[in-house]
């Protein structure tokens, strides 16, 4: 008999799928309007930061950006290795097939290289999920993992459910099985993104993991509720809500970016345009930048001029991993 994961389709799930599908269309149109390469890069960094932060990694988005750009970062070597692995995984993840076990094992090897000994292989021992000092879930025995994963991948191949539901069910079942010695959380989130991206490529640029990190307690509560009920509906509802919220956030950001781009193009007195036009190709202190525009209010200058210019990718910090450093300087990008 073909394995069927236990879940029910609630009215909330149906409503969220409808909302997500509608807003994905709007986001796709916005992505086509603008050249969003910088935005996609920023979202990828937010995705990596969020997924690793859930696992305890403390590196900021600016430090991750520095690593991505090949710049040195002062941080624990293990956390830097986690970031490098995640960058590599997300750069090549669209080459993998979500139903291919070989690709799944290869992805784990990429994500966990240099972090644990058992990379690219299912675990050989027992493992539990901890919440503080308390064990909240004991995963199935190691000798059952190959069969359970084969069943789950077969279900993913054959199921005719909506990809939004399939991705959530897979994510939950994967975390329940906990097939690897370590890295199960980041693998589950990566693989759900892969499943969704195969349905619609725009999901490669939506930082759902960042919102999950912001709602980390609710994420674990949804996992536990689904386990207690032997029904992954609570987890499906939670993840779909995170996806919807992430799309809404991306819509707002994209709309603002399109508007800002238009404003810079047509308005000579635009704040960002004024700042960029006044700068030469050298490094400036914050005070020097303010003097260029004859401004004296530091907070207003940072909010209205400097920060938008940095976020638009027009200006960069010379010390990106220490934004508040007294030695900080700024230059045209």
178: annotated active-site residue: yes
Dihedral angle, C-alpha 253, 254, 260, 262, nearest 10 °: -170
DSSP collapsed to 3 states, the chain: CCCCCCCCCCHHHHHHHHHHHHHHHHHHHHHHHCCCHHHHHHHHHHHHHHHHHHCCCCCCHHHHHHHHCCCCCCCCHHHHHHHHHHHHHHHHHHHCCCCCHHHHHHHHHHHHCCCCCCCCCCCCCCCEEEECCEEEEECCCHHHHHHHHHHHHHHHHHCCCCHHHHHHHHHHHHHHHCCCCCCHHHHHHHHHHHHHHHHCHHHHHCCHHHHHHHCHHHHHHHHHHHHHHCCCHHHHHHHHHHHHHHHHHHHHHHHHHHHHHHHHHHCCCCHHHHHHHHCCCCCECHHHHHHHCCCCCHHHHHHHHHHHHHHCCCEEECCCCCCCCCCCCEEEC
User: Given CA atoms 311, 316, 319, 320 in this order, what sign does their dihedral have?
Assistant: positive
Q: Give the alpha-carbon dihedral of 83, 86, 90, 92, to 10 degrees.
A: 110
Among the listed residues 171, 178, 281, 297, the single catalytic one is: 178
Annotated binding-site ranges for ATP: 129-137, 182-189, 219-220
Residues with active-site annotation: 178
């Amino acid at each position: 008999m073909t394995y069927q994961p236990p879940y029910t389709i609630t009215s909330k799930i149906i409503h969220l799928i409808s909302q997500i599908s509608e807003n994905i269309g709007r986001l796709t149109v916005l992505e086509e309007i603008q050249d969003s390469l910088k935005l996609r890069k920023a979202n990828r960094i937010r995705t990596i930061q969020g997924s690793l932060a859930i696992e305890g990694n403390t590196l900021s988005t600016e430090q991750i950006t520095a690593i991505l750009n090949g710049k040195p970062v002062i941080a624990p070597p293990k956390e830097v290795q986690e970031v490098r692995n995640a960058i590599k995984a997300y750069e090549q993840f669209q080459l993998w097939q979500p139903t291919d076990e070989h690709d799944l094992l290869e992805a784990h090897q990429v994500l966990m290289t240099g972090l644990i000994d058992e990379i690219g292989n299912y675990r050989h021992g027992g493992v539990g999920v901890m919440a503080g000092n308390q064990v909240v879930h004991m995963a199935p025995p190691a000798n059952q993992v190959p069969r359970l994963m084969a069943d789950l991948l077969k279900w993913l191949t054959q199921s005719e459910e909506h990809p939004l539901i399939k991705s959530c069910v897979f994510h939950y079942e994967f975390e329940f099985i906990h097939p690897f010695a370590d890295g199960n959380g980041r693998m589950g989130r990566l693989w759900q993104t892969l499943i969704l991206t195969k349905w619609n490529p725009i999901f490669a640029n939506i930082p759902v993991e960042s919102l999950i990190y912001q709602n980390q307690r609710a994420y674990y509560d949804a996992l536990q509720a689904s386990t207690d009920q032997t029904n992954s509906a609570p987890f499906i509802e939670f993840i779909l809500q995170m996806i919807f919220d992430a799309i809404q956030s991306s819509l707002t950001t994209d709309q603002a970016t399109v508007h800002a781009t238009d404003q810079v193009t047509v308005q000579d007195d635009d704040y960002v345009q004024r700042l960029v036009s006044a700068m030469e190709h050298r490094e400036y202190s914050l005070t020097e930048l303010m003097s260029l525009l004859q401004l004296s209010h530091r907070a207003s200058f940072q909010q209205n001029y400097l920060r938008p210019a940095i976020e638009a990718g027009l200006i960069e910090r010379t010390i990106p991993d220490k934004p508040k450093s007294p030695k900080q300087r700024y230059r045209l990008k």
